[in-house]
Amino acid sequence: MNKSLFKISPGFEDIMPAEYRELVEHGPYEKGFGVSDLGTFKELIEEHPLCAGCGLALSLRMILASLPKPEDTIIVGSTGCSSIAFPQVALHNIHSLFGNQNALASGLKRALKLRFPDKIKDVVVIAGDGATADIGLDMVMQSWFRRENITTIMLDNEAYANTGGQESGMSPQGTILNMAPTGKKFPKISLPEIAREAGCAYAAAVSPAHPKRLEKAVRRAILLAREIGPTYIQVFSPCPTNYKFKPHETIARIKQREKDGTFSIKEYISPEAQEWLAQIEEVKK
Amino acid sequence: MIDQRVVTPEYLFFEAPREKRFMTGSEAVREAIKRANVDMAISYPITPQSESMHLVGDLYAEGYLREYFRGENEFAVMSAVAGASMGGVRVFTATGGPGTLRAFEAFPTWAGARLPIVCAFMTRGVNSPLSIQPDTIEMAFMLNTGIMMFHAETAQDLYDMILKAFVIAEKTDVHIPVGVFTDGFFVTHTRDTVEIAAEDIKLPPYNPYCAPVPVMDMENVPVRQMRDPFVMKSNFISYATHASWQQEIMAAAERARNYVVKYLGGLVEVENEDADILIVASGTAVSQSREAIGMARREGLDAGLIKIKCLRPFPGEEIRKLTRNATAVIVPEFNRVGWLCQEIKSVMEDTGKVIGGPRVFGGMTMPPDLILAEIRRCSR
């Protein structure tokens, strides 16, 4: 999208909502902002109704601030907590159904390639752990097998949070949640490793406790999805509401999990992706 | 690359010289898609649909389509065509029977998102017990998904309806999906004479900016930023938004009536409409009814025929008027539930004269004698 499209017709400035005016005047389109610039520009996400201390909301803010080309990024979401935040995101974003996000994104990306063969159009899937690792896993993996040029980002809050805190495939073993009244019986699904084996050029696990690492992962994943193939990022986004901790403890919670070894930053880069990254990161230097 | 000339829909449908060819229903699908200027098709196998999408795949290999792939299941395929359509291209797919049910959740979202997708449904029985045989029961489930529904009687209908479906679906004031249904095996796997236009002409391309909703391409301003998401809000404005949106989808189908009349020549076709006994049918039940009427005439009995071509929107006014003076209305169907009979009864004033049958299902053919027996009984 050319930024000149995004303007308010003269004479209508005063009737446009304040947040829309701010977006036109101080939005991130064509600016190349990153997470270090948060607080200096109008973010793509407006006030949202997610819970206080929501790890997912924090991750989403950072992901949106890390997009390499927001003016040409289309988001595909799925049912879950994030789907309540997306109506306030100033990018074209699609909520279709629960679990079909990667199938929909496959069709969308191929359509945009046909319509804009000489232009970058980044298709980024952002969905929860239930949508990605449980109900939609076949479509997520099939999109990787097919080597679709899309980025898949999982907001991993380790539960079905929006429906009231049920166990998901990403909940740690032993956790007591709804529908797991005696504790979860099997371990957290190793999706970054599955992604690596399923054809992803890049797979990473990050968290909002380390914003620059998160930003780097998002940029690498999106740039590699354009050129090499599918990419996957898992963003650990603890849920204070369903895991019953205080809203201000979200980041401390991540750090605690890092310390006890139940969460760690991961990054797998395929040799082909490595070569390409070395080239562009060399040029940048 | 294939050299095809873009012509107006009116020229392609009504003026272009046509050549008679002997082909299967699946091949008629190929001939329609060859001239439909389709950008992308996504396939998944299921009997009796598979052959039609093999042939569409061949068209891709020949250069008639710009993108084609096999999806992983029908729900994924129907989701992927939704994504492609939201991205602004003309898409086609096909399924049938259990595939229709597997994909079911996607269809109301197509209508709700105002996507002008055209999908062919080659109907077959659903489990259990396992069956791959002809049956139209899936159409009962599809009636209230918000998509428009055409029912092809013959391979000729299938060719014409698929091409015309794209043009009707893509009108700005319609812009909802169209399902073109045909009876699996009876039409897909049998040969018939089909009149087709020359293969060097095609429909004009789809213009995504004719859509009444934004194309998801970030080439128009994202306007969906709002303070409150409608989902899960317990307030009247969010209910009213959802309710009025549903009404607008229904209104879009209503507005399509004019285009169905213009391009398909009406929602129904009538033969001998003044007869006391009328047979109302859709799909291949129409052919069997026509056969039965011929047999009845030879016995000196008279019966007329109403062929329903468009089930959504439903030709309620047409049926009400046409059946007003009839003494009996016979509704033969290829399914157990009698969904067409229910539809017809829902618009008629005197439902007592409706005979719900004969019905065959589970893969059975419908001998015209069964319909003839009803005509005889009603003539007493």
Residues B179 and B308 grouped into a single domain: no
Contact A108 B86 (CB under 8 A): yes
N-terminal to C-terminal alpha carbon distance within chain A? 28
Query: If you count DSSP H runs as helices and E runs as strands, how many of each does chain B have, helices first?
Result: 13, 16
Task: Show the DSSP H helices in B265-347 as ranges.
Answer: 284-298, 316-323, 339-347
Task: Return all residues near B305 (Cβ < 8 A) that are at least 6 apart.
Answer: B270, B271, B272, B278, B279, B281, B286, B289, B290, B293
Alpha carbon A255 to chain centroid, angstroms: 20
Spatial contact of B20 and B193, defined as CB atoms under 8 Å apart = yes
Q: Which of B210, B225, B257 is the last residue of a domain?
A: B210
Q: Is B82 on the interface with A (CB under 8 A)?
A: yes
What CA–CA distance (Å, rounded) separates B271 from B279? Answer: 10
Mean pLDDT computed over A29-53: 93
What CA–CA distance (Å, rounded) separates B290 from B125? Answer: 24
pLDDT in tens, A73-84: 999 999 999 998
Residues B205 and B329 grouped into a single domain: no
Q: Is B230 on the interface with A (CB under 8 A)?
A: yes
* Least Cα separation, residue A262 to chain B (angstroms): 33
Is residue B88, in this structure, part of any structural domain at all?
yes
pLDDT of residue A49: 85
Task: Return all residues near B317 (Cβ < 8 A) that are at least 6 apart.
Answer: B347
Task: Return all residues near B248 (Cβ < 8 A) that are at least 6 apart.
Answer: none
Is residue B217, in this structure, part of any structural domain at all?
no
What CA–CA distance (Å, rounded) separates A237 from A128? Answer: 10
Instruction: Indicate if the pLDDT at residue A130 is higher than 90.
Output: yes
Is residue B253, in this structure, part of any structural domain at all?
no
- The CATH number for B126's domain is 3.40.50.970
Helix (H, G, I), strand (E, B) or coil at A220: helix
Residues B201 and B276 grouped into a single domain: no
Neighbours of A235 (CB within 10 A): 26
Kindly give the parts of chain B with pLDDT less than 50.
Answer: none
Omega within 30 of 0 (cis) for the link into B358: yes
> What is the residue-wise DSSP string for B152-184?
ESSHHHHHHHHHHHHHHHTSTTT---EEEEEET
Alpha carbon B166 to chain centroid, angstroms: 11
Binned at pLDDT 50, 70 and 90, residue A197 comes out as very high
Chain A stretch 6-45, residues whose beta carbon is closer than 8 A to a beta carbon of chain B: 6, 19-20, 23
Alpha carbon B77 to chain centroid, angstroms: 18
What CA–CA distance (Å, rounded) separates A88 from B224? Answer: 7
Contact A87 B75 (CB under 8 A): no
Instruction: Give residue B37's identity as a one-letter amino acid code.
Output: N
pLDDT of residue B2: 80
What CA–CA distance (Å, rounded) separates A203 from A193? Answer: 8
What letter would DSSP give residue A189? P
- For residue A125, list its beta bridge partners: A76, A152
Alpha carbon B365 to chain centroid, angstroms: 21
Residues B78 and B198 grouped into a single domain: yes
Residues B204 and B299 grouped into a single domain: no
Is residue B362, in this structure, part of any structural domain at all?
yes
Residues B191 and B301 grouped into a single domain: no
How many folded domains does chain B comprise? 2
Is residue B137, in this structure, part of any structural domain at all?
yes
Q: Which of B210, B233, B253 is the last residue of a domain?
A: B210
For residue B289, the enclosing domain spans 268-379
- DSSP H or E stretch at residue A234: strand A231-236
Residues B286 and B161 grouped into a single domain: no
Residues B199 and B54 grouped into a single domain: yes
- The CATH superfamily assigned to A51-160+168-284 is Thiamin diphosphate (ThDP)-binding fold, Pyr/PP domains (3.40.50.970)
- % of chain A beyond a pLDDT of 90: 87
Helix (H, G, I), strand (E, B) or coil at B139: helix
Binned at pLDDT 50, 70 and 90, residue A72 comes out as very high
* Least Cα separation, residue B179 to chain A (angstroms): 19
Residues B273 and B201 grouped into a single domain: no
Return the ∠ at Cα A81 (arms to A75 and A82), rounded to 5°. 15
Of B71, B81, B225, the CB nearest to A88: B225
Task: Return all residues near A275 (Cβ < 8 A) that are at least 6 apart.
Answer: none
Q: In A, which residues are within 8 Å of B75 by CB distance?
A: 100, 103
Instruction: Give residue A14's identity as a one-letter amino acid code.
Output: D
- The CATH number for B296's domain is 3.40.50.920
pLDDT in tens, A200-254: 999 999 999 999 999 999 999 999 999 999 999 999 999 999 999 999 999 999 9
Chain A stretch 107-166, residues whose beta carbon is closer than 8 A to a beta carbon of chain B: 107-116, 121, 138-139, 142, 146
Q: Is B77 on the interface with A (CB under 8 A)?
A: yes
Chain B stretch 241-280, residues whose beta carbon is closer than 8 A to a beta carbon of chain A: none
Is residue B175, in this structure, part of any structural domain at all?
yes
Spatial contact of B174 and B252, defined as CB atoms under 8 Å apart = yes
Task: Show the DSSP H helices in chain B as ranges.
Answer: 9-10, 25-34, 50-62, 74-86, 98-102, 106-112, 138-142, 155-169, 236-264, 284-298, 316-323, 339-347, 368-379
Is residue B117, in this structure, part of any structural domain at all?
yes
Residues B182 and B314 grouped into a single domain: no
What are A269's two structure tokens?
């880069």
ipTM: 0.96
Contact A83 B231 (CB under 8 A): yes
Q: Is B41 on the interface with A (CB under 8 A)?
A: no
Of A46, A73, A111, the CB nearest to B84: A111
Residues B186 and B273 grouped into a single domain: no
Q: Is A277 on the interface with B (CB under 8 A)?
A: no
Residue B377 main-chain phi, psi, to 5 deg: -60, -40
Q: Which of B160, B194, B210 is the last residue of a domain?
A: B210
Contact B82 A19 (CB under 8 A): no
What Cα–Cα distance (Å) separates residue B62 from each residue in A206, B4, B65, B353? Answer: 45, 13, 8, 54
Is residue B241, in this structure, part of any structural domain at all?
no
> What is the residue-wise DSSP string for B34-72?
HTTT-SEEEE---TTTHHHHHHHHHHHHHTSSSEEEE-S
